[in-house]
Structure 1
């Protein structure tokens, strides 16, 4: 049977700052991110299976991505833990703000790599992550493809 790709899209709001950057993005700011998650697999052929004809139930994919990405990053501020932004992060945390400290510069490129690792770890063995597209603005996005990695 043919392999099929299916895609589910998600949205979330996240703030970040790029330490050491030479433009406006060195300042704390936010984006309305759009994440497209594409998986690939063979549709279930057992007509007695409750998920007959599906590669993966869109609801199951939604659960994985919401738990690993959307619910974690939505309305959070992301900082690289290895920069002086750590002081700002600590102050925000004291004021009960949702802060995520990562070990990378929180660019769309690095975030999409992080997201790919998290999603891949949760997928059933029969389903492979094909690609991710993380859109930061209407005209700017980063893409991750399994075939490139």
Structure 2
């Protein structure tokens, strides 16, 4: 049976600021992110299985990505916890805003690496994460491929 790639797309709104950056992105701002998650595997061949013919149920993939990424990052602001932005995050959090502290500069590149780690940990054993594409704007995105990371 052939390996097949399945892709599901997600959208979420997230704010961030890049501490120490020399351009406009040093300021707190947000993006309408688009995340494409592609997994690879063999379709189920057991005709008695309710998911016969599927690599993975799109609903199962959606549940993983929503729980690990979308529900956490949507309408939250991400800051690098190893910078003075931790004080801004605390102030926002004290005022009822959702903030996320990460141990990296919250660029699209670093976020997509983080997302890959989180999604891979939740996938069934027979399904592999093939790639992620995190689109920050209409013309800018970061991609992660398993084949580049072996």
TM-score by length of 2: 0.99
The 2-side partners of 1:85 and 1:127 are apart by 38
The 2-side partners of 1:87 and 1:3 are apart by 48
Q: In structure 1, what is the equivalent of residue 74 of structure 2? A: 74
- 1:134 CA drift (Å): 0.0
Q: In structure 2, what is the equivalent of residue 95 of structure 1? A: 95
Displaced runs of 4 or more, over 4 A:
none
Q: In structure 2, what is the equivalent of residue 60 of structure 1? A: 60
Q: In structure 2, what is the equivalent of residue 145 of structure 1? A: 145
The 1-side partners of 2:144 and 2:72 are apart by 20
Q: Structure 1: any 5+ residue segments left out of the alignment?
A: none
The 2-side partners of 1:15 and 1:97 are apart by 11
Q: In structure 2, what is the equivalent of residue 20 of structure 1? A: 20
Q: In structure 2, what is the equivalent of residue 123 of structure 1? A: 123
- 1:81 CA drift (Å): 0.1
Q: In structure 2, what is the equivalent of residue 46 of structure 1? A: 46
The 2-side partners of 1:137 and 1:123 are apart by 28
- 1:107 CA drift (Å): 0.1
TM-score by length of 1: 1.00
- 1:49 CA drift (Å): 0.4
The 2-side partners of 1:143 and 1:43 are apart by 25
1:54-87: per-residue Cα shift (whole Å, max 9, x none)?
A: 0000000000000000000000000000001111
Cα RMSD of the aligned pairs, angstroms, is: 0.2
Q: Structure 2: any 5+ residue segments left out of the alignment?
A: none
Aligned residue pairs, count: 149
- 1:48 CA drift (Å): 0.5
